[in-house]
Amino acid sequence: MKMLRLILGDQLNQKHAWFNETDNEVTYLMAEMRQETDYVKHHIQKVVGFFLAMRNFQEELSTKGHRFIYLKIGDDQNPQNLEKIIQKYVNETDAEKFEYQLPDEYRLDEQLKAICKGLSIETEAVDTEHFYTTRYEVKNFFSNKKQYLMESFYRMMRKKHDIMMVNDQPDGGKWNFDHSNRKKWTGKPEIPHERGFRKDVSVVSQEIKAAGIETIGNLDPKSYNWPTSRADSLSVLNYFCKNLLIYFGDYQDALHSEQKFLFHSRLSFAMNSKMISPKEVIDKVLDHCYEHTGHIHISQVEGFVRQILGWREYMRGMYWALMPNYGQYNKLDNQNKLPDFYWTGDTKMNCLKHAITQSLDEAYAHHIQRLMITGNYALLTQVHPDEIDAWYLGIYIDAIEWVEITNTRGMSQFADGGMIATKPYVSSANYIHKMGNYCSGCHYSHTKKLGENACPFNALYWNFLDEKKEHFRDNHRMNMMMSLLGKKDKQELAALKERANNIIEHPELF
C-alpha cells in the first residue's frame, strides 16, 4: 500500500517506530510553512532553529534509506498551507493511506482532523512516542479529585516509572527538595561556559528574510548557539551531566546579571522539538548521578527530574484536559496592553532590562526570569493574558503552545483562577533582591515603596492585592497577604495605588 506520512516541525523523533524499517511504499512529508511562521511573530533564532533541525532530521533519515518530500520555505512548489500541501502530495504520490503523528497543539489537531475528513483515502493518527504520558492521562488521573495538584501527579509518576524510588519510598527520604533549590549565586562555585555551537546559519537566515517572514529578537548568523540535530542534543545532555548537574538544584532559581544560563541544561528546545526524549534525558541524568554517588547530592537531581517528569508532563496533560476553553480564560479580568519595552528591553528597571534583553539576544530565559520578572510585572500591571501569551509564545525558542499557554496563562498570570497554580506568583522587589544581583546598580531602590526612586514592583504589588482582593477572598494561600493588606495604613495604601496607576498608565517613563 502506498502511504504518505506527515511529520511536523516539532516531531523530530528519530526513535519513532515509523523508522524501524525502510519501506519504498512509504513517503514522508515535511514542510516549512508560512502557516507556522506567521500565526504569531516568532524570534528569529526560533525559526532558524526549527528549520535547521527539520532539515537535519530529513537528511539523516534519508541517508538511512527513508523516502522524503521536503519543502523549504522558499520553494516555488510550496503552497505554505498544511491542507494544500497534504492534498497536493496525496495526489502526486498516488497515496492509498495518509498517516500523521498526533500534534501537540490543539489548533493543528483540529486542522488535521478536518483535513482527513476531506481526503478520499484511509487515514490514521498515531502517537508521537515521546512523552511519558498519553494525552489524557493527567485528565483521567484527576477525574475524581477536587484540585489538579502537580505534586500528587508527580509522586504517582515517580512510583509508576520507578524513578528515584527505593523500596517504594522516595530516594533521599523526601519527595521534593524544593526548599534546597533556592540559593542565591554570588560568584562561587564557578559556572562552566554553556555547551554552545557557534554555527554559521547565514544561508537559512537569508532564506527566512527573502521569504518576507517577520521576526523578533536578535541573531548573529555566524554564531548560532542552539542544538539542531540529535547528535547536538545528546552533546548538550552529556555536557550538562558532566559539568552543570552538580549544582543545578542549588541555583536553579538564582538570578544574575552576568550569567545568562547559570547551571541550567538548555535542553528544552531539544526536547520540545523531540530530537531527544524526556526518558533519555532522565535516564542519562540518573545514571550519571548514581555513578557519582557522594559527588552529586540527590537534591540537585530531584529538582531537575521534577521539572521534566513533573511539570513538563503535567502541563502537557493539563493542556489537553482544559483546551480549547483554557485559551480564553481571564479570571482576573486584566485588560492592559503589554508595555513596549518588552520588545526592546528599554527600561530603567534593571531586572526587566536584563531578563528582556537576554530573551531578545538568546531566545531564552530560565523559569524564574519568566515567572518572577517578566511574568510578575505583567500580572502586577494587569496585562491582558492574550498579550503576554503572544509574547511568550513568540520570543522563546522552546515555546510551543502546549507548554507555553499552561505556564503563562496558568502558572504566571493566574488567568485560570487557580486551576494550575494555587496562588498568583506575584512579589514585591524583596524577592527579586533575595534571589540575585539585579537590584544592584538599578536606577530604583528595592527597599523604597514611595518616591521617584522607589522600585515600581513595590507599589504595583500592593495595588494588585488591593485591586484583586475579591478574587482572593476564599484563597487560603493568600490569607497572610490579605491580612497584611487589611492592616495597611490607608493613606500609605492610597499613595502606593496612585504611584502604581501612574506606572501602569505610563510604562515608558519607568
* Banded pLDDT at 293 (limits 50, 70, 90): confident
Using one digit for the tens of pLDDT, what is the confidence trace for 368-386?
999 999 999 999 999 999 9
Average pLDDT over residues 407-430: 95
Residue 446 confidence (pLDDT): 97
Q: Which of the residue ranges 207-211, 354-358, 478-482 would you say has the lowest mean pLDDT? A: 478-482
The grid coordinates listed for 440 are 544592584
Please check the confidence at residue 181 and state whether its pLDDT lies above 80: no
State pTM to two decimals: 0.95
Average pLDDT over residues 272-301: 93
Contacts of 118 (CB under 8 A, 6+ apart): 83, 87
Contacts of 356 (CB under 8 A, 6+ apart): 341, 342, 344, 345, 347, 374
User: 363, 263, 335, 362: which is closest to 304 by C-alpha?
Assistant: 263
- How many whole angstroms separate alpha carbon 109 and alpha carbon 6? 13
Average pLDDT over residues 295-307: 90
Show the DSSP H helices in 183-277 as ranges: 202-210, 230-239, 245-251, 268-272
* Banded pLDDT at 310 (limits 50, 70, 90): very high
SS3 6: strand
Q: Which of the residue ranges 172-181, 237-246, 347-356, 493-502 would you say has the lowest mean pLDDT? A: 172-181
Residue 178 confidence (pLDDT): 79
- CB burial of 482-493 (b: ≥16 within 10 Å; e: otherwise) equals beeeeeeeeeeb
Please check the confidence at residue 179 and state whether its pLDDT lies above 80: no
Residue 295 confidence (pLDDT): 86
SS3 400: coil
- Answer for the pair 268, 276: CB distance below 8 angstroms, yes or no: no
Show the DSSP H helices in 312-349 as ranges: 313-322
Q: Could you tell me the CA-to-CA distances from 465 to 11, 108, 460 in Å, in that order?
A: 42, 38, 9
Q: Which of the residue ranges 60-69, 172-181, 300-309, 467-476 would you say has the lowest mean pLDDT? A: 172-181
Q: Could you tell me the CA-to-CA distances from 87 to 10, 69, 78, 465 in Å, in that order?
A: 21, 13, 12, 53
Average predicted confidence (pLDDT) for the chain = 95
Residue 274 confidence (pLDDT): 98
DSSP state of 97: E
Neighbours of 119 (CB within 10 A): 16
Using one digit for the tens of pLDDT, what is the confidence trace for 436-474?
999 998 999 999 999 999 999 999 999 999 999 999 988
* Banded pLDDT at 17 (limits 50, 70, 90): very high
- How many whole angstroms separate alpha carbon 402 and alpha carbon 398? 11
Residue with cell 514585591: 428
- Give the strands of the sheet with 67-71, arranged side by side: 67-71, 26-31, 3-6, 97-101, 122-126
Using one digit for the tens of pLDDT, what is the confidence trace for 92-141?
999 999 999 999 999 999 999 999 999 999 999 999 999 999 999 999 99
Using one digit for the tens of pLDDT, what is the confidence trace for 182-203?
889 999 999 999 998 999 999 9
Residue 172 confidence (pLDDT): 86
Contacts of 85 (CB under 8 A, 6+ apart): 29, 31, 33, 71, 78, 79
Average pLDDT over residues 292-304: 88
Please check the confidence at residue 145 and state whether its pLDDT lies above 90: no
Q: Could you tell me the CA-to-CA distances from 124 to 6, 25, 98, 214 in Å, in that order?
A: 11, 16, 7, 34
